[in-house]
Structure 1
Amino acid sequence: MGKTKKIIIEILAVIVGIIYLSPVYIMVVNAFKNRAEMYESVLSLPSTISFEYFRTAMSKMSYLNAFMNSLFVTVISIGIIVVLSSMTAWMLVRTKHVISKVIFFTFIATMLIPFQAVMMPLMQVMGFVTNNTFLSMLNTRFGLIYMYVGFGSSMAVFLFHGFIKSIPTSLEEAATIDGCNKWKTFWKIIFPVLKPTTVTVIILDLIWIWNDFLLPSLVLSDKGLRTIPLSTFYFFGEFTIQWNLAMAGLVLTIIPVIIFYMLAQKHIIKGVTAGAIK
């Protein structure tokens, strides 16, 4: 009975895996087809393998420029989120005060607020800041980065907070005895230990920021500032949709994320569970 149950579970797992991977299969397969072939059958394999549509998609969506914009925004945002969130979580864990608990639970509470509920007030506030100060928050990469840091810090603080609680204070006490101040203690003792959680935060934020369409569409208006998701929207016109070019553009969009994910996937489970188990 146990063997039969195991086989059934494995079959169900394969079926679920196929269902989850089917959109990826449809996207990749149709990226090599012309429009006529695509309309004949979405699921069939292409008659010929040609990268013509990938070249056309790269040209029309200004892929290199969009790639550099996405790379700049993603790397800077993640770097700031990791540094500020890890330092914040460390101080909240080590400061035994009711204010620390209030601040931490405030971070947690903000995770429950959907972005759609605050996006219009956010644009109004950012527009007010732009019009009344020298800081430009709309239609700039740095304004977009500022918003990503604000929205991404809550989850990062939550993950770092759980992991730091498992780090013994004796390490910090030994560093203090050796003459380290707070700054050196964090960077030389605490931050290296946070590597699993740091990689987890980087992966989760990379997938989120790289693939995000809604926030950049609200903030950025100039064509030269568009990120990759905004550039792929070029193929979805008001009256016609260039599905084969759109599929090729989407494949080009997810390739960098897949490469990074494959290189760092072993840290995900380790990073997420390390703070929760201990």
Structure 2
Amino acid sequence: METIVKRHSKFLSVITFLALSMICVLFLLPILAVLMNSFKGRLYISDAPFSIPSAKTFAGFSNYQNGIQKIDFFSALGYSFFITLGSVVVIVFFTAMTAWYITRVKTKISSIIYLSFVFSMIVPFQMVMFTMSKIANILHLDNPVGIIFIYLGFGAGLSTFLYSGFIKSIPLEIEEAAMIDGCNPLQIFFKIVFPILKPIVITVGILNTMWIWNDYLLPVILIGSTFRTIPIAIQYLQGGYGSIDMGAMMAMLVLAIIPIVIFYSFCQRYIIEGVVSGAVKG
């Protein structure tokens, strides 16, 4: 009986490994296809999109050079870095302080604020984008600095929800001891609470970085072609009558992916830790 159970367990392990391997291949295949096509001549990409570049189809780094020149890639990269970094920093700090307040201060107002944040998570962006763009225009937020505050509004719901669940797992006695030692609320938060929030801070940072870096709809509505982020700039490789420089587009997609992949690779181990910690007592 024990032998049968072991065989059954081993069989399930093999099946699970094969299934996960197939899923992994399905996820990696589009990325590998983009990478291979970025080194092909533009005329050969449509004919054999999944073939490895050969001596005939290999174009070297010409696609990268053309793409960088056509869309002013480094300018778009600068805007993307500025907007993403600014938005993530603002979201991480402001939502952490908000979550700490509404978690520790138990009043009807704090409960309403918390429910408002949770409700904002289920409101589709398309439902508010026209009103939002009009208000942003009136308040002069349709620029690289103003869009940071717009991202704070849209990212506050999920971030506050994750922070609140994590903060509930922090013993209140730690903060009370700091208060007895003479710390004011700001000192308690930045010296005691915020360092403890490290796993969920990194989780919130990663989730928002991946969202903001790849976002196309909000920047194109607010700042349009004046301040092109990478997703907007790449769209300008599409010419008139549907003509597209596929080689340059594939090359620019590779360059756009690299920073976020590097960032995610360094921080991925904190995602599960942060989400699980916030969900246990949230």
TM-score with structure 2 length normalisation?
Answer: 0.93
CA contact (8 A) 2:40 2:247 kept: yes
Q: What corresponds to 1:159 in structure 2?
A: 162
Matched to 2:104, the amino acid is: R
Match of 1:124 among 134, 153, 176: 134
Match of 2:223 among 214, 220, 225: 220
Q: What corresponds to 1:44 in structure 2?
A: 51
Deviation at 1:126, TM superposition (A): 2.2
Task: State the number of aligned residues.
Answer: 270
Matched to 1:231, the amino acid is: A
For residues 209 and 224 of structure 2, the distance between their equivalents in structure 1, rounded to whole angstroms, comes to 22
For residues 165 and 122 of structure 1, the distance between their equivalents in structure 2, rounded to whole angstroms, comes to 33
Match of 1:271 among 263, 271, 274: 274
Deviation at 1:220, TM superposition (A): 1.1
For residues 184 and 42 of structure 2, the distance between their equivalents in structure 1, rounded to whole angstroms, comes to 64
Matched to 1:4, the amino acid is: F
For residues 162 and 76 of structure 1, the distance between their equivalents in structure 2, rounded to whole angstroms, comes to 25
Q: 1:170-185 to 2 correspondence within 5 Å? A: 170-185=173-188
Match of 2:254 among 251, 254, 264: 251
CA RMSD of aligned residues (A): 1.2
Deviation at 1:222, TM superposition (A): 4.3
Q: What corresponds to 2:5 in structure 1?
A: none
For residues 278 and 133 of structure 2, the distance between their equivalents in structure 1, rounded to whole angstroms, comes to 36
Matched to 2:32, the amino acid is: Y
Matched to 1:32, the amino acid is: F
Match of 1:233 among 232, 235, 240: 235
Matched to 1:51, the amino acid is: F
SS in 2 for 1:119: helix
For residues 14 and 203 of structure 1, the distance between their equivalents in structure 2, rounded to whole angstroms, comes to 25
Matched to 1:111, the amino acid is: M
Q: 1:94-105 to 2 correspondence within 5 Å? A: 94-105=104-115
Deviation at 1:147, TM superposition (A): 0.8
Matched to 1:41, the amino acid is: A
SS in 2 for 1:3: helix
Q: What corresponds to 1:133 in structure 2?
A: none
Q: What corresponds to 1:148 in structure 2?
A: 151
Q: What corresponds to 1:13 in structure 2?
A: 20
**Structure 1: runs of 5 or more not aligned:** 131-135
Match of 2:36 among 29, 49, 52: 29
Is 1:261 equivalent to 2:264 in the alignment? yes
Deviation at 1:104, TM superposition (A): 0.5
CA-to-partner distance for each residue in 1:45-81, whole Å, 9 max, x for gaps?
A: 1113612211211111111111111111111111111
Matched to 1:5, the amino acid is: L
Matched to 2:13, the amino acid is: K
63-72 or 116-125, which moves further after superposition? 116-125
CA-to-partner distance for each residue in 1:193-228, whole Å, 9 max, x for gaps?
A: 0000000011001000001000000011344x1111
Matched to 2:60, the amino acid is: S
Q: Percent identity?
A: 39
CA-to-partner distance for each residue in 1:109-139, whole Å, 9 max, x for gaps?
A: 0100111111112112223x24xxxxx122x
For residues 180 and 204 of structure 1, the distance between their equivalents in structure 2, rounded to whole angstroms, comes to 32
Is 1:91 equivalent to 2:95 in the alignment? no
TM-score with structure 1 length normalisation?
Answer: 0.94
Q: What corresponds to 1:63 in structure 2?
A: 73
**Structure 2: runs of 5 or more not aligned:** 1-7
SS in 2 for 1:235: coil
Q: What corresponds to 1:78 in structure 2?
A: 88
CA-to-partner distance for each residue in 1:132-172, whole Å, 9 max, x for gaps?
A: xxxx122x112211111110111110010000000001111
CA contact (8 A) 2:103 2:168 kept: yes
Consecutive aligned runs of 4 or more in structure 1 exceeding 4 Å deviation:
none
Is 1:115 equivalent to 2:125 in the alignment? yes
For residues 237 and 82 of structure 2, the distance between their equivalents in structure 1, rounded to whole angstroms, comes to 24
Matched to 1:233, the amino acid is: Q
